[in-house]
């Protein structure tokens, strides 16, 4: 029997932000749940209210018998305009994600002998569009992502991200730094976290698409280096249920406040 859940969001601004940065939001971060023990509550609905848009996005999740997401149906409504997309998820016999397929696009996932994700390739109309390569330290932490794309011609190297952690046991990167292909720093972000589960852990797909982490970000300090230098601080405050999952978060960034309410089905 397949289990279906729905996530409702108002506003899809974050999707645009993913496209503006060099592979800022990559599907390699969506391979495994961020916390193996996060299974007593399943996220069934998320409602987001942005001060900058009235668009609404709904996501329906279909799972197989072992709890893996096999299909995501996303419906975006903005005024009288409605758009829907479907992505299918495929796994190997060990349960690792191997392919995500949409309309005219798909991504493939490659692992090393230790089971760590190492390469993600993205295709449009069966032609490779971009690629991300991941590197790990001896503690299993992601320390580097290398980016390649075809924006200016054949697939070519465009830059990389470095991640640092407070200690060898941490699963939360406390700093990420983006470099271009000339090894020049573009910006860096410093992070602070709580000690609770992230909501997306409960649906079986890690949605921490900007930084390796298993807990909720409470503060991020973005420092622009290239071009006009600037510093921007984003903060998030949470309300939790008795299972240590957020039921509400208020995020303030760049003068805009976003409030998200989460609903769960708990066992």
CA distance linking residue 174 with residue 166, whole number of Å: 7
Higher pLDDT, 24 or 174: 174
Residue 233 is predicted with a pLDDT of 97
Asked if the model's pLDDT at residue 187 lies above 60, the reply is yes
The partner residues of 8 in beta bridges, in order of sequence, read 58
Asked if the model's pLDDT at residue 27 lies above 60, the reply is no
- Indicate the pLDDT class of residue 13, thresholds 50, 70 and 90: very low
Asked if the model's pLDDT at residue 266 lies above 50, the reply is yes
pLDDT tens column, 46-65: 777 766 677 777 778 787 77
pLDDT tens column, 122-171: 999 999 999 999 999 999 999 999 999 998 889 999 999 999 999 999 99
Lowest mean pLDDT, pick from 114-128, 156-170, 248-262:
248-262
Ordered alpha helix ranges (H), the chain: 13-20
pLDDT tens column, 197-211: 988 776 656 544 568
Which CATH number describes the domain made up of 4-266? 2.40.160.190
Residue 65 is predicted with a pLDDT of 75
Segment 95-120 mean pLDDT: 92
- Indicate the pLDDT class of residue 106, thresholds 50, 70 and 90: very high
Nearest residue to 63 via CA among 6, 101, 9, 15: 6
Report DSSP letters for 9-76, one per residue: ES--HHHHHHHHSTT-S-GGGGSS-S-TT--SEEEEEEEEEESS---EEEEEEEE-TTS-EEEEEEEE
241: its two tokens:
């249920």
151: its two tokens:
């924006």
CA distance linking residue 27 with residue 90, whole number of Å: 13
Higher pLDDT, 264 or 96: 96
The partner residues of 3 in beta bridges, in order of sequence, read none
Residue 20 is predicted with a pLDDT of 36
Segment 82-99 mean pLDDT: 91
CA distance linking residue 234 with residue 255, whole number of Å: 9
The domain limits of the chain are 4-266
Provide the percentage of residues in the chain whose pLDDT is more than 90: 53
Phi-psi region of 177 (alpha: psi -120 to 50; beta: other; left: phi over 0): beta
Segment 225-237 mean pLDDT: 96
Residue 61 is predicted with a pLDDT of 76
Full-model pTM: 0.79
């Amino acid at each position: 029997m397949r289990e279906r859940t729905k996530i409702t969001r108002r506003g899809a601004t974050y999707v645009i932000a993913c496209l503006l940065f060099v592979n800022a939001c990559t599907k390699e971060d969506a391979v495994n749940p961020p916390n193996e023990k996060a299974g007593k509550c399943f996220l069934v609905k998320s409602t987001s209210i942005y001060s900058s848009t009235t668009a609404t996005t709904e996501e329906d999740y279909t799972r197989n018998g072992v709890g893996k997401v096999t299909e995501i149906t996303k419906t975006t409504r903005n005024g009288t305009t409605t758009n829907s997309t479907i992505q299918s998820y495929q796994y190997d016999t060990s349960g690792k994600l191997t392919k995500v397929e949409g309309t005219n696009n798909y991504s493939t996932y490659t692992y090393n002998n230790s089971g760590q994700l190492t390469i993600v390739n993205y295709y449009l109309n069966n032609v490779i569009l971009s690629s991300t390569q991941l590197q790990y330290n001896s503690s299993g932490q992601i320390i580097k992502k290398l980016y390649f794309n075809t924006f200016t011609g054949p697939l070519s190297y465009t830059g990389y991200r470095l991640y640092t952690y407070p200690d060898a046991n941490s699963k939360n990167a406390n700093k990420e730094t983006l470099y271009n292909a000339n090894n020049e720093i573009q910006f860096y972000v410093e992070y602070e976290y709580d000690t609770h589960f992230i909501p997306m852990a409960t649906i079986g797909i890690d949605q921490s698409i900007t930084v390796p982490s298993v807990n909720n970000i409470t503060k991020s300090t973005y420092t622009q280096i290239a071009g006009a230098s600037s510093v921007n601080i984003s903060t998030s405050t949470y309300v939790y249920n008795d299972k240590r999952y957020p039921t509400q978060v208020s995020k303030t960034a760049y003068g805009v406040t976003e409030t998200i309410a989460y609903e769960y089905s708990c066992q």
